[in-house]
Amino acid sequence: MSIKIIKAAAIFLEGKLVKNLAIAVNMHTGNIEKIDAEEKLGKEYNDALKEDWGGLVIVPGSINAHNHSFQSLLRGIAADRPFLEWRDNSLYKFSPRMRLQDIYTGALFAFTEMLKCGATTVADFFYLHQFGSESDEAVIQAAKDCGIRLVLARTMYDWQGAPSGYVEDVQTAVNRTESLMKKYTGGMVKVLPAPHSLHAASPEMIKAGYHLAQKYNSPYHIHVAEEMFEVEQVKKEHNGMTPLRYLDYLGVVDAHMSIIHGVWLNEDEVKIMGQKGAHLIYCPSSNMFLADGITNIPAYMAAAVPIALGSDGACGNNRISVFEEMRMVSILQKAETCNALCVNFHDAFKMGTENGGTVLDLPVGKITVGCKADFVGISVQDFSMQPLTKKGQQFLPNLVYSMQPTAIKRVAVNGKTTVMQGKLVNIAEERILEEIGKTMEHLEAV
């Protein structure tokens, strides 16, 4: 067993800063083996590699539970437009032009920017299938190359109004998704089914995705009620049933389900989710940017629905930091409810870390024995993390409400450093910028 002992100025454990502890990491599995005094760990693992994070504070890596990596290449395009106009003039206009190398570049760009912002796991809701499974493999390769933990939410999409590269028949979608689920059964990559939405996936496609989740005891992801037009469409087509009630009618609402957005669910629908063990992945900045509306987070919390956070795609946010989403979920809900207590900084931090692990069914988002060694090193000397008393009571409020990316100095995934002094370790940033430039030249020229 190869062990690495990581120490720092402090570790954020169970809601408070704890000094004079170190973390023993099993480098074969990437798991946290033990947390104890450095001297004790050194005696127990006398041949361990030592790694000193200096004056940094170690916190759990954040979990980006919903992203569309290719959209990073479309940031700034069709901004400040109504949702359907934004979709048509950014996603639908440019994504069909993307080559396989552009899909890889978009994923590499998205994942490395996230790493620099302290995300150690990302769920990429991916639906560019113009190259079949090669498209999915390009995204997976990008994650491997930069060192981020990836959940590929392989999208199942059969609405004929979308670009042809998005669309598959049900059997093709099932075959390709299942093949990838079988191939990636451990390690740094996990694949799960993701029927796109009630407006872009037929009932047959949604049920097929759900049955895959049942078969492999996996979560499945689906956009639900992001926009009011979906609510009206579903009610019109299905005898007045609202989206969640229709999904329940289809028999696909249970603990396998994670809905994305859930902006326009009523409180009865939210209660059904809580009763049946379903999850919510909330993207507050994206919902604001695209004028979707404001999800009733206190209602989900009251119904005991686990809530994780996502950045969504970088052309509909346009930032890509989960730490920023922690801030946004809290202050947006305070503004909506006029209740300063409705979502506090403890709630927000848990949504961006531990709850992400719950929703993605991964041992991530916590610093505890048996979980993955996915860490972020925070400099409390950064102005955005000050002031800080010796007892450190302001640490978590500052982390959620005031921290800037300049405070994120180091990131490790599976015990391996991916960001050092704010710079990428596994891949040259200049190379990424060069590849982005090549893609933009191609998209402009076509």
User: Cis before residue 60, ω within 30 degrees of 0?
Assistant: no
What is the rounded distance in angstroms from the CA atom of residue 71 to the CA atom of residue 294? 22
Q: What percent of the chain has pLDDT over 90?
A: 97
- Token pair for residue 349? 């931090």
Task: Indicate the residue type of 340.
Answer: A
Query: How high is the pLDDT of residue 186?
Result: 85
Q: What is the mean pLDDT of residues 50-59?
A: 98
What is the rounded distance in angstroms from the CA atom of residue 23 to the CA atom of residue 7? 6
- Token pair for residue 196? 């796109």
Answer whether 206's CB lies under 8 Å from 250's CB. Answer: yes
What is the rounded distance in angstroms from the CA atom of residue 294 to the CA atom of residue 301? 15
What is the rounded distance in angstroms from the CA atom of residue 439 to the CA atom of residue 446? 11
Give 108-139 pLDDT, tens digit per residue: 999 999 999 999 999 999 999 999 999 999 99
How many other C-beta atoms can be found within 10 angstroms of the C-beta atom of residue 376? 28
Q: What is the mean pLDDT of residues 251-279?
A: 98
Query: How high is the pLDDT of residue 391?
Result: 87
Domain boundaries, the chain: 62-360
- The secondary element (H helix, E strand) that includes residue 133 is helix 133-146
Helices (H) and strands (E) in the chain, counts: 17, 19
3-state helix, strand, coil in the chain (%, to 5): 45, 20, 35
What's the pLDDT band for 69 if we cut at 50, 70, 90? Answer: very high
Give 222-244 pLDDT, tens digit per residue: 999 999 999 999 999 999 999 99
67: helix, coil or strand?
strand
| Mean model confidence pLDDT for the chain | 97
Residue closest to 94 by CA, chosen among 82, 111, 106: 106
Residue 104 pLDDT more than 80? yes
Range with the poorest average pLDDT among 25-39, 79-93, 275-289, 406-420: 79-93
Residue 446 pLDDT more than 80? no
Answer whether 99's CB lies under 8 Å from 442's CB. Answer: yes
How many other C-beta atoms can be found within 10 angstroms of the C-beta atom of residue 187? 12
What's the pLDDT band for 48 if we cut at 50, 70, 90? Answer: very high
Residue 1 pLDDT more than 80? no
Give 328-384 pLDDT, tens digit per residue: 999 999 999 999 999 999 999 999 999 999 999 999 999 999 999 999 999 999 999
Question: pTM for the complete prediction?
Answer: 0.97
Give 271-314 pLDDT, tens digit per residue: 999 999 999 999 999 999 999 999 999 999 999 999 999 999 99
CATH architecture of the region 62-360: Alpha-Beta Barrel (3.20)
What's the pLDDT band for 445 if we cut at 50, 70, 90? Answer: confident
